[in-house]
A and B are shown apart, each in its own frame.
Chain A
Amino acid sequence: MSIRSRKPGVTLLLLVLLLSSVFVLALATGPSGIGLRSLFVSPGPETTRSATGPDMAQLIVLYIRLPRVVLATLVGAALGAAGGVMQGVFRNPLADPGLIGVSPGAALGAAFVIVEGARWPGAGGIMQLGVPVGGMAGAFIMTAILNLLALRGGGFSTSRLILAGVALGAFAASLTGILTYRANDSALRDLAFWSMGSLAGAYWQVVVILLPLVLVSLILLIGLSRPLNLLLCGEENAALMGCHVRRTKWLSMLAVTLAVGPCVAFSGVIGFVGVVVPHIVRLFAGPDHRFLVPACALLGAALLICADMIARIIAAPSDVPVGIVTAALGAPAFLWFLLRTRDGDLPS
């Protein structure tokens, strides 16, 4: 018998519990050793003696940790849910947003702002929002071009999409390469760290921008779950059951771009979450996208919060790029997971 639970509702509830506990844990953990209690406890004798009084505790928890944990939640949820949908649309266990040009596009846009922005005088202030805006623009432009290419054949065939995506991705990568070549020393370093992925850019303005985008895209992604289920029976069978196959694919790409583009733009490239989370969820909650997509969002958020918590404290007082943590911890964990399950339990 498979390890899969017969009650997806229970799985979702457990994931909600996991996410909330991880959220609180991450909020209470940090290099400064300030716990949540210091927020509520009136300054006792021990806090007055240290340089970090209650004001500092409040500042650290509310303005440094909280936006960062919320950002990790949003980015993790978006990456997880988008990964689940991508694998459904492409019916490919390795499909990720990179396949439809979102990540290469965002990388190109961000690289453009990092490299060319460095040449504009007094660009320091603009850079902060310029890089994400450039990243988002890159992601959307890339997806739009890809959609046009895929639609031209009259159909919207998956293989056409993948081939066009690979070619466009390579082209975007070469443009990014040109930018890298043109980059000055500091831009080069920024570029390198951006490509490793980090949530260090978290502050409330970022969260405020990202929150509606991620929420809208999550609603879209979850709304796509029935047509995605139908697609698992083959495109023709799905169409016969009333699924608008072309519209479903088109909407999925829009939703994935809307979810992942801004996240990649703000946090750089964070690998592993989007590919592996859906596989883990499928083992527990089955293939039904109505549970799979929300479960991927919940687990993705929980995992990224954990990874970022580790990134924050492992080399304190300095900060490790979270992309390194997700890959370094996630990949072996997933391999262990693979070894524990038999072939029959794996999604085909």
Chain B
Amino acid sequence: MAGEGQGPVPARSEILGGVMNVRLCSRRQFGLSALMTGFSGASIRAPRADGARRFVMQDCRGRRVAIGSMDRIVSIGGTVTETLYALGMAHRIVAVDITSTYPPSALREKQSIGYMRTLSAEGILALRPDLIIAMNDAGPAAAIDQLIASGVPIVMIDATRSLDAVGKRILTLSKIMGAEQAGTAMVVRIDNQKRTLSAWKSLHRERARVLFVMRIANGRPMAAGADTAADAIIGLAGGVNAGAGMSGYKPLEREALVELRPDVILMMSQGGQAMREALLGDEAIRMTPAGERHAIIDMEGEKLLGFGPRTVEAAFELARQIDRVTRPS
């Protein structure tokens, strides 16, 4: 990323355009390296109203949040972290939760605050954040309430898993960060990808039956039914969720699995080669069209299911891969 280690950069009113390399900083912003190594209490001064930009915004719960400086952000939720990184705001983040798997550097270079549903209010406050951005399904509720009560600005981000919500999330986050232009550019790019995808889908009308297997539990595949992120992305990619008859992630009975006749089996690349082999070794799966053709697709989990900025990209990639593995050779 450009500008690493540079001195104070122009304030918000003097932003320059550009998609990925825009850096928005207050006048008090110090070098990225200093942020990375972590401040001692003395090296960052409490922000004053005269220095930082101050504004009030409404979050997804209808709360009005006054936001001042944003040099020590705690980012809760993989999508939030991914978007902040994409907006070039990585240097402002002090800590992320463990669902922040993309980019992989996030969990390496930032402090971890644990799982997003078992947050510790005092643990987060101990990091002296000046802004907390959290997905709306973060918890426990008491910790969120305590964070709200602490007076540290905390913005809750709508956690709906849909394509519309993806764009809204990016716009909201870019507005918070004062990076509207970067955000708009991202949304425009996503819209372009969407158009490309629908054009591609109009040319490829065969709708393959896709079964998403989360993992193999006790020898039985846990598959995605309706009302899951996997169901949504399969739909976006132009496929049919073979497991749509059930709801949520459920273990599949072998005979039922054969009956679902998936053309493609989709999995997360975190499962690795071991899971691919387990799937191909399963008698029931071998009896399905997907098993006969070894049609197994894997994709990075956060990209596939996170409904972050890469969602349409993921759907397009998925659509092409489905087409490739199902096309009769």
Binding site for B on A (CB under 8 A): 30-33, 46, 48-53, 55-56, 59-60, 63-65, 124, 127-128, 181-186, 188-190, 193, 198, 200-203, 206, 312, 315-319, 321
Tell me the bound Cα distance from A316 to B119 in angstroms: 10
Tell me the bound Cα distance from A48 to B140 in angstroms: 31
- Beyond contacts A32-B122, A198-B140: 14 other A-B pairs, Cβ-Cβ < 8 A, are A31-B123, A32-B123, A32-B125, A51-B128, A53-B46, A56-B151, A59-B149, A184-B227, A186-B117, A186-B137, A193-B117, A200-B140, A312-B123, A316-B123
Which among A50, A55, A64, A183 is the interface contact of B146 at CB below 8 angstroms? Answer: A64
Give the one of B41, B126, B248 with max A CB within 10 A.
B126
Tell me the bound Cα distance from A343 to B125 in angstroms: 49
Q: Is the CB of A50 within 8 A of B128?
A: yes
Q: Mind listing 28 A-B residue pairs with CB under 8 Å?
A: A32-B126, A48-B46, A51-B41, A51-B72, A53-B46, A55-B151, A56-B125, A56-B150, A56-B151, A60-B125, A63-B150, A64-B122, A65-B122, A124-B141, A127-B141, A181-B250, A185-B248, A198-B140, A200-B118, A201-B140, A203-B145, A206-B142, A317-B123, A317-B127, A318-B114, A319-B118, A319-B119, A319-B143
Size of interface on B: residues with Cβ below 8 Å to A: 43
Contact A200 to B112, CB < 8 A, known contacts A30-B126, A60-B125, A190-B117:
no
Q: Is the CB of A317 within 8 A of B111?
A: yes
Q: Is the CB of A317 within 8 A of B141?
A: no
Tell me the bound Cα distance from A129 to B119 in angstroms: 18
Binding site for A on B (CB under 8 A): 41-42, 44-46, 72, 95, 111-115, 117-128, 130, 136-137, 139-143, 145-146, 149-151, 227-228, 247-250
Contacts of B143 in A (CB 8 A): 200, 319
Tell me the bound Cα distance from A197 to B41 in angstroms: 34
A200, closest chain B residue (CB) = B140
Q: Is the CB of A312 within 8 A of B141?
A: no
Which among B111, B112, B130, B228 is the interface contact of A51 at CB below 8 angstroms? Answer: B130
A128, closest chain B residue (CB) = B141
Q: Is the CB of B113 within 8 A of A318?
A: yes
Tell me the bound Cα distance from A203 to B140 in angstroms: 11
Contact A317 to B114, CB < 8 A, known contacts A52-B125, A190-B139, A312-B120:
yes
